[in-house]
Amino acid sequence: MKKNKATQWAMAVLCLAAGIQSCKPKNAGSAVSSDAAQRAYVAPGKYDEFYNFVSGGFSGQMSVYGLPSGRLLRVIPVFSQDPQEGYGYSEETKDMLTTSHGFVPWDDLHHIEASQTNGELDGRWTFANGNNTPRLARIDLKTFKTAEILEIPNSAGNHSSPFITENTEYVIAGTRFSVPLDNSNGDVPINTYKKNFKGTLSFIKVDPADGNMTIAFQIKTPGVDFDLSHAGKGPSHGWFFFSCYNSEQANTLLEVNASQRDKDYIMAVNWKKVEEYIKQGKGKKEAVRYAHNKYSDVTHSTTSTIETSVTTIDVKDLADAVYMIPCPKSPHGCDVDPSGEYIVGSGKLAALIPVFSYTKMLKAIQDKTFDGDYEGIPVIKYEAALYGEVKKPGLGPLHTEFDGKGNAYTTFFISSEVVKWSIKDLKVLDRIPTYYSPGHLSIPGGDSRKPFGKYMVAYNKITKDRFLPTGPELAQSAQLFDISGDKMQLILDFPTIGEPHYAQSIPAGIISKNSQKIFNIDQNKSKYVTMGQNAAKVERQGNQVHVYMTAIRSHLAPDNIEGIRMGDEVYFHVTNLEQDWDVPHGFAVKGANNAELLIMPGETQTLKWVPTKVGISPFYCTDFCSALHQEMQGYARVSPAGSNVPLTFSIGTNNGPGINPVAGGDSAKGGGAPKAKR
């Protein structure tokens, strides 16, 4: 009863708050509809309609939720080490986090983009950008594992990324921070920004067969901050649009100094034309260093290569391919509608939304309706490219997605709301408050040619009182809206990990049918695979001890290991012999200075352990696997350096030879080495 009162009181406060703000016609009444719970409810044992891939921001990971339930289905480690499954800790996965700076076990994962074919979601991969040490990741949606991480040279702050062209020909990486480029002298005064700092836009080719990423070319631009971007589609396929701010080229106090001009720009790049220039040999090979890491589901290991060359082309050499469109007030979102005709710019400090027309832009280019140039790049006259402005939509538009029914939905950070408006007549149709201050929003397929306009999720930057207080830090909040009717209706709040920036939602059926259940043990080509318990063994190579171990419900083999000496490095190569869905085994050893392993059925993973104490160190399976999971354990004996305890290993030999009291089992007889088991 008390709770009910509290809820009503909270609602009343809500209404009051909405009332106070109602100098604008806020539709406060629809904040929570009466049947909201029913519409977000997915009964136990039932599946969600959509997978929702959400960036984990400063957690460095990507989370996967079900929509409409908001249930957390998975957290996929991408740019950060994950002790839960040993990602970035195991010998096989740690090289995924190798960069030209060495091992960088964290990044800031900002945006998610799903692969497309013909402008429609195809459910093959998602891409994610690392904003700090510039990187780009590809996640395989068959395994929900990070398959590839490519470092981006000549870049700092890979923010304008990882947006794609409509057949996933390219994935994009645009610099947030302009910097002196890698092979120029970077030891310069910071206040020489205008002279020495450059931006780059990297076009990364994606192999349609296996997804392999290679940097096709980088366009060098004047020093500005690139923020977001989206490719043209349909008729505008062949173009890419990048929002940029700090056209003032400030190098300090950007909060003030990069907000001086009335308009910044959207940079329009005709990438098909750039491709031609590159083909004509107008690009330049430059010496740089960047890491390219690929994970194989066959060898169950990472190949990390340091690449040493990249092709660049200066924007000055790209006449007829790059133009600037003025866009009010530090644009963030740069979004292209499903038809490919309309480009929506969202100025963070603006009180209107400009909508540009692709057709008008082409005509302006043809007629040379320019308004001077920006560092040599022709600036199209604002009105000549403008389709129209959404007037008084709210304060601080950030990002727009589309429902495929002619409507656009824009988040407003400053006025904390989502506004639905009609693309055709630019009229505001509905507005709904969010709690609080949304950044991005996501509609399933909402940036593709074929949106599924049933749900919209707003990812809020501020949580405050939406959930039970948990000290100074709170989970971030996502809010799910039903957008199937004329009015947007809030149906669910759910907390998210890290900071959700962008997200993508994909109809469940496109992905679930391809989801892999096991790795086929017969195709395991790991260098350290143990093909059956008979093959389990322990080998010494100098001060390295290699344990070839198998795991199956419910024992590890071998489970008694002796002859390890202080100063040794022990490598546990654990092969999970299971071939059944959802039966991973874990592996941990006392005192290991890293994490556990979590080994999928048919997989081999390696934990490195450098013993620090003489004595007996237990190891065990960490992931509950059967009624006898708690029995899935073993011992490693560590002797002093120089000890002459011989290297031996066994399973099933109990209490030494000859004194085996185990009931029902002379099974241990002749145990010794696992080889002797028959």
Partner 1 sequence: MKKSIVFAAIAYSFFLYACGGAADKTSANESPKEETSSSSGSANATDNPSYDPERGTGKFTTVDIPVKLDAAMAANGEKVFDVKCSSCHKITDEKLVGPGWKGVTKRHKPEWILNFITNPDEMIDKDPKAQAMLEICMVRMPNQNLTDVDARALYEFMRKNDDVK
Residue among 520, 543, 544, 612 that touches partner 1 (CB under 8 A): 520
* Residue 158 near residue 152, CB atoms below 8 Å: yes
Residue (56 or 586) nearer to partner 1, CB: 586
Query: Which of 250, 429, 475, 518 is close enough to bind partner 1 by CB under 8 A?
Result: 518
Q: How far apart are CA 26 and CA 14, in angstroms?
A: 12
User: With respect to partner 1, which residue has the nearer C-beta, 531 or 614?
Assistant: 531
In 3-state terms the chain splits into helix, strand, coil percentages (rounded to 5) of 15, 45, 45
Cβ nearer to partner 1, comparing 428 with 535 = 535
Contact between 664 and partner 1 per CB under 8 A: yes
Among 90, 168, 533, 605, binds partner 1 (CB under 8 A): 533
Total count of residues recorded for the chain: 678
Would you count residue 557 as binding partner 1 (CB under 8 A)? yes
> Which of 128, 132, 152, 154 has the alpha carbon at shortest distance from 54?
128
Please say whether the beta carbons of 237 and 231 come within 8 A. yes
Per rule CB under 8 A, is residue 554 in the interface with partner 1? yes
Cα separation, 250 vs 599, whole angstroms: 50
Residue closest to 224 by CA, chosen among 190, 257, 248: 248
**Residue 9 Cβ, how far from partner 1 at the closest point, in Å?**
6
CB-based burial, 177-214: b 16+ in 10 Å, e otherwise: bbbbbbeeeeeeeeeebeebbbbbbbbbebeeeebebe
Whether 60 and 87 have beta carbons less than 8 Å apart is answered as: no
Q: Is residue 8 at the binding interface for partner 1, with CB under 8 A as the rule?
A: yes
552 binds partner 1 (CB under 8 A): yes
Q: Is 414 in the site for partner 1 (CB under 8 A)?
A: no
Q: Is 474 in the site for partner 1 (CB under 8 A)?
A: no
Which of 1, 2, 3, 5 binds partner 1 (CB under 8 A)? It is 5
By the rule CB under 8 A, 665 interacts with partner 1: yes
Whether residue 144 contacts residue 130, with contact meaning beta carbons closer than 8 Å, is answered with no
Residue 27 in contact with partner 1, rule: CB under 8 A: yes
- Exactly one of 167, 489, 650, 653 binds partner 1 (CB under 8 A); that residue is 489
Check: CB of residue 548 under 8 Å from CB of residue 528.
yes
Number of residues that bind partner 1 (CB under 8 A): 66
The interface region with partner 1, picked from 14-22, 115-123, 250-258, 270-278 by CB under 8 A, is 14-22
677 binding partner 1? (CB under 8 A)? yes
Residues 155-214 that bind partner 1 (CB under 8 A): none
The reply to whether 28 sits near partner 1 by the rule CB under 8 A is: yes
We find the least distance from the C-beta atom of residue 210 to partner 1, in angstroms, to be 24
* Neighbouring C-beta atoms of residue 465, cutoff 10 Å: 11
Q: Please, are residues 538 and 558 in contact by the beta-carbon 8 Å criterion?
A: yes
287 phi-psi bin (left φ>0, alpha ψ -120 to 50, beta other): beta
Among 26, 31, 396, 594, binds partner 1 (CB under 8 A): 31
x-or-dash string of contact with partner 1, 55-74, rule CB under 8 A: -------------x------
d(CA 671, CA 678): 9
Smallest gap from Cβ 532 to partner 1, in A, equals: 4
Window 602-661: residues binding partner 1 (CB under 8 A): 626-628, 652
- The two tokens of residue 589 are 């050893």
Instruction: Fill in the per-residue mask, 569 to 588: x = in contact with partner 1 (CB under 8 A), - = not in contact.
Output: --------xxxx--x-----
Q: Shortest approach of partner 1 to residue 453 CB, angstroms? A: 14
Residue 89 identity (one-letter amino acid): Y
SS (H, E, C) 415-455: CCEEEEEECCCCCEEEEEECCCCEEEEECCCCCCCCCCCCE
Regarding 678 and contact with partner 1 (CB under 8 A), the answer is: yes
What is the closest distance, in whole angstroms, from the C-beta atom of residue 664 to partner 1 in the complex? 7
Smaller CB separation from partner 1, 357 or 579? 579
Residue 576's nearest CA partner among 611, 528, 544 is: 528
Q: By C-beta, is 264 or 417 nearer to partner 1?
A: 417
Shortest spacing between CB 623 and partner 1, in angstroms: 14
Residue 43 found at the interface with partner 1 (CB under 8 A) = yes
* Of 205, 212, 203, residue with least CA distance to 303: 212
Distance CA 272, CA 239 (A): 7
22 lies in the site for partner 1, by CB under 8 A: no
Q: Does 16 bind partner 1 (CB under 8 A)?
A: yes
Element (H, E) at 7: helix 2-20
42 binds partner 1 (CB under 8 A): yes
Identify which of 200, 279, 274 has the alpha carbon closest to the alpha carbon of residue 239: 274
Q: How far is the CB of 11 from partner 1 (least distance, A)?
A: 6
Question: Measured from the CB of residue 553, what is the shortest distance to partner 1 in angstroms?
Answer: 6
Cα 648–Cα 649–Cα 655 angle in degrees, nearest 5 = 100
Residue placing its CB nearer to partner 1 in the complex, 145 or 555: 555
Q: How far apart are CA 128 and CA 64, in angstroms?
A: 13
Contacts of 251-256 with CB under 8 Å at 24 or more apart are: 251/190, 251/191, 251/193, 251/197, 252/190, 252/191, 254/225
Stretch that binds partner 1, among 137-145, 366-374, 413-421, 519-527 (CB under 8 A): 519-527
Q: Which of 531, 566, 610, 647 binds partner 1 (CB under 8 A)?
A: 531
* Tokens of residue 355, six digits: 């909508």
Our finding on whether 534 is near partner 1 (CB under 8 A) is yes
Q: Which is nearer to partner 1, 269 or 583 (CB)?
A: 583
- Answer for which of 208, 235, 509, 657 binds partner 1 (CB under 8 A) is 509
Minimum distance of partner 1 from residue 653's CB (angstroms): 13
Relative to beta strand 585-589, strand 597-599 is: antiparallel
Q: Phi and psi (nearest 5°) for 330?
A: 50, 65
Query: Does residue 519 sit in helix, strand or coil?
Result: coil
Of the pair 319, 628, the CB lying nearest partner 1 is at: 628
Residue 11 contacts partner 1 per CB under 8 A: yes
Note whether 302 and 145 are within 8 A (CB): no
**Of 43 and 253, which CB lies nearer to partner 1 in the complex structure?**
43
Residue 667 binding partner 1, by CB under 8 A: yes
**Binding region for partner 1 (CB under 8 A) out of 30-38, 217-225, 440-448, 592-600:** 30-38
Span from 21-29, 150-158, 224-232, 263-271 in contact with partner 1 (CB under 8 A): 21-29
- For partner 1, the binding residue among 22, 24, 29, 71 (CB under 8 A) is 29
Strands (E), 322-435: 322-328, 331-336, 342-347, 352-357, 370-374, 377-380, 386-391, 397-402, 407-412, 417-422, 428-433
Residue matched to tokens 């740089």: 288
Q: Collect all residues with Cβ–Cβ distance below 8 Å to 29 and sequence separation of at least 6.
A: none
Please, which residue, 68 or 130, has the CB nearer to partner 1? 68
State the minimum distance, in angstroms, from the CB of residue 560 to partner 1: 16
Q: Which residues bind partner 1 (CB under 8 A)?
A: 5, 8-9, 11-12, 14-16, 27-35, 38-43, 45-49, 68, 482, 484-485, 487, 489, 508-509, 518, 520-522, 531-535, 550, 552-555, 557, 577-580, 583, 626-628, 652, 664-667, 677-678
